[in-house]
Amino acid sequence: MKFIIQRDQLIASVQNVMKAISPRTVIPILTGIKVEAKSHGVTLTGSDSDVSIESYIPAEENEKVNVEQIEEGSIVLQAKYFPDIVRKLPEKTVEIESDSDLKVTIRSGKAEFTLNGQDAEEYPQLPKIQTDDSFELPIDLLKSLIKQTVFAVSTMETRPILTGVNINLKENVLKFIATDSHRLASREIPVTNTNIEFNNIVVPGKSLNELNKILVDAEETVEISVTNNQILFKTKHLNFLSRLLDGNYPETSRLIPEQSKTLIQVKTKELLSTIDRASLLAKEERNNVVRLTTQGTGLIEITSNSPEIGNVTEDITVQSIEGEELKISFSSKYMIEALKAIEYDEVSIAFTGAMRPFIIRPVNDDSILQLILPVRTY
């Protein structure tokens, strides 16, 4: 194998596939990056067997030459050293050559590295996903769906299924749901260009977080295909493959109250920064709990009290309050994360009493829903 490649392109590709590589994998060869040169371009692969990422650099694109003097072949390079080497090479191009002893020479300017490679034949074959049954989404929309839900997955391994995001595509509506059983986040969007459906697949939250980091905001679209145990996200230069979680995702729709007793409309940013301040005295030891009290005259009061440290109180003028008076306590962390995910200037919060879950939604947009369970404080 031999080729000369633009260093910038190689750096970007290496960074992408590194997202899938864990130094603590049980399969030693997966600590490496697979490099495969074909006449049409170079493909890098990284995998921790849960997530696999392939990044493709075409030899030519938009009349620009990325890779030249290609002799086909493949090799696996140690991910512990290769990325730093590429990043610190002195020139704009890099020559990479492997010999029959699996020695790999990396040349750039006067610098010459020789690394011990591993046989690419020993690298596990990625499952091929049939991509006929796929649908497309704009990248920025997929990133929104992820950001608005994935933070609510559970981090506890006691119920592994809750560490994933539940995804459904039914009657041309795509819906993401995440819950850790103390709060729930969901977002749905219409999908018009497909007639495929799938039900209750669960993608690990960790995979979606990595995917969100790799996808660059762009006009581009991503093609999504699902099989029994895998999901593939495919863009022009990237294949992102994740296993699905086994098990049944709980039915969450019955958690969502259908009517409300107190309804508040408030500026998102004002509520967010007030709760952020109140949470300063409600650190871990107090479970981040703050209290919200309606004040009747278009005011709500946010308070927090830690006997040893002190207390804080702040009023907010809201857009409107309807219904019963209310005193309710909740985790400031959950509230802050929900408000940040909503991305609208104004939210409506629907309460059904101090002991029942409440719902936060953008005003005039039902496609986003954030639900939080209150905390008993007496």
- Binding residues (CB under 8 A) for a second copy: these are 78, 81, 84-85, 88-90, 103-104, 110-116, 273-274, 276-277, 280-281, 308-316
Q: Which is nearer to a second copy, 156 or 280 (CB)?
A: 280
Q: Tell the smallest beta-carbon distance from residue 374 to a second copy (Å).
A: 23
Q: How far is the CB of 76 from a second copy (least distance, A)?
A: 14
Give the nearest distance from C-beta 271 to a second copy in angstroms.
13
Question: Residue 358 CB, nearest distance to a second copy (Å)?
Answer: 23
Question: What's CA 156's distance to the chain center, in Å?
Answer: 17
Cα angle 148-150-155, degrees, rounded to a multiple of 5: 145
Q: Which is nearer to a second copy, 243 or 277 (CB)?
A: 277
Residue 289 to residue 330: CA distance in whole angstroms? 5
State the minimum distance, in angstroms, from the CB of residue 31 to a second copy.
12
Q: Which is nearer to a second copy, 137 or 321 (CB)?
A: 321
> Hey, what's the torsion of the CAs at 196, 199, 200, 205, to 10 degrees?
0
Q: φ, ψ for residue 30 (rounded to 5)?
A: -75, -5
**Min CB(359)–a second copy separation in Å:** 26
Of 108 and 166, nearer to a second copy (C-beta) is: 108
Min separation Cβ 296 and a second copy, Å: 17
Residue 314 CB, shortest distance to a second copy, in Å, is 4
Give the separation between CA 211 and CA 142, rounded to whole angstroms: 10
Cα angle vertex 357, ends 190, 294, to 5°?
A: 110
The alpha carbons of the chain give a radius of gyration, in whole angstroms, of 25
Nearer to a second copy, 2 or 147 (CB): 2
Contact 272, 336 (CB under 8 A): yes
CB atoms closer than 10 angstroms to residue 31: 18
Of 110, 16, 94, 10, the residue nearest 54 (C-alpha): 16
Is 53 within 8 Å of 239 (Cβ atoms)? Answer: yes
> Measured between alpha carbons, how far is 66 from 4 in angstroms, rounded to an integer?
8
Cβ atoms 326, 262 nearer than 8 A: yes
Cβ contact 144:174 at 8 Å: no
Neighbouring-strand partners of residue 296: none
Residues constituting the chain: 378
Give me the least distance between CB of 309 and a second copy, in Å please.
6
Residue closer to a second copy by CB (options 316, 368) is 316
Choose between 63 and 101: whose C-beta lies nearer to a second copy: 101
**Toward a second copy, which CB reaches closer, 10 or 238?**
10
Residue 276 bridge partners (DSSP): none
C-beta of 113 vs 344, nearer to a second copy: 113
